[in-house]
Amino acid sequence: MKIATWNVNSLKVRQQHVIDWLELSHVDVLCLQELKLPDEKFPHAEFSVKGYRSWCAGQKTYNGVAILVRDGLEVDEVDIVRNIPGFEDLQQRLIAATVNGTRIASAYFPNGQAPGTEKFAYKLRWLDAITQWAADELVRYPSFALAGDYNIAPEDRDVHDPQAWLGQNLVSPEERAAFARLVSLGLVDSFRSFEQPEKTFTWWDYRMLAFRRNAGLRIDHILLSSALAATCTHCEVDKTPRKWDQPSDHAPVIVYLG
DNA sequence: ATGGCTTGCACCGCAAGA
């Protein structure tokens, strides 16, 4: 099974990119973030004709997440979860589904704006909440994957210029500590389980020719439970759609399981 | 130099992203 995560920065604008990339990658499950559209505008039918069922948690203008599952895979409709249970949140940032017995979450972690701001405090609260939720899910589902835009670069090697970014949002010690707490539940950063090219990133600013200069950050991740990590044969970032016309600023991350 | 692009909203310049 191949699982991927991709922040598309508006599904309305990137719908054709998603369809083209599904045909290119043939992933079994695709987790999407930053749909920026309400549920009634989600293109279920367009994905259906391409062989994918879809579940979304959308909202107007901002946020919004979805999971696409290839026809033939078994999805338990009863345990689809939207939002972090017990965490009051007006922003649509989490959807989880069970696919062939594997629990898969598509998560859009808050950006945080800057350390010290109210948005940063919200990011830390949200990180605490998803950590508690992930702990519960790990008890229920030995095979668990938490995929999404984490908006955290876990280490300096995930940053093109660590000196310039020192202490800033996305790399601050508080965010990295929260990421480490999540990992310490027993999750594995699948990307680092394998040898990877130096300076592999998943996001590049639209400005300053950042993609051409590879001035990026690795902030999109797929964390795996230890049982699932044991079946994982590879993890890679696919920069292909970042080179297309009018691209998302993020590139998809793929894990190969079983 | 706190900008630089891109998006959505809504009526065009602003908020937000990362």
The predicted structure's pLDDT at residue A214: 98
Alpha carbon distances (Å) from A101 to A106, A173, A187: 16, 35, 18
The predicted structure's pLDDT at residue A5: 98
A166 CB closer than 7 A to any strand B atom: no
The structural domains of chain A, with segments of one domain joined by +, span 2-257
**Average of per-residue pLDDT across A240-247:** 97
Q: Which two three-digit tokens encode residue A72? A: 């033939």
| A116: confidence class by pLDDT, cuts 50, 70, 90 | very high
| A133: confidence class by pLDDT, cuts 50, 70, 90 | very high
Does residue A108 have an active-site annotation? yes
A202 CB closer than 7 A to any strand B atom: no
Share of chain A above pLDDT 70, in %: 100
Spatial neighbors of A147 by CB under 8 A, at least 6 apart, are A3, A4, A5, A31, A104, A105, A106, A107, A221, A222, A223, A253
Q: Give backbone dihedrals phi and psi of A157, rounded to 5 degrees, phi first.
A: -70, -5
Q: Structure pTM?
A: 0.97
Tell me which protein residue sits closest to nucleotide B17, measuring alpha carbon to C1': A111
Å between A166 CA and B3 C1'? 19
| A13: confidence class by pLDDT, cuts 50, 70, 90 | very high
| Residues A69-108 pLDDT 10s | 999 999 998 999 999 999 999 999 999 999 999 999 999 9
Catalytic-labelled residue, pool A108, A141, A220, A249:
A108
| Residues A15-43 pLDDT 10s | 999 999 999 999 999 999 999 999 999 99
**Average of per-residue pLDDT across A109-119:** 97
Query: Edge-to-edge strand order for the sheet containing A81-82?
Result: A81-82, A94-99, A102-108, A144-149, A220-225, A187-189
The predicted structure's pLDDT at residue A247: 98
The predicted structure's pLDDT at residue A209: 96
User: Can you tell me the distance from the alpha carbon of A126 to that of A130, in angstroms, rounded to the nearest whole number?
Assistant: 6
Does residue A205 have an active-site annotation? no
Handedness of CA A37, A38, A41, A44 (dihedral sign): positive
Å between A38 CA and B11 C1'? 22
| Residues A180-232 pLDDT 10s | 999 999 999 999 999 999 999 999 999 999 999 999 999 999 999 999 999 99
User: Which chain B positions come under 7 Å from a protein C-beta?
Assistant: 4-9, 16-18
Considering the segment(s) A2-257 as one domain, its CATH architecture is 4-Layer Sandwich (3.60)
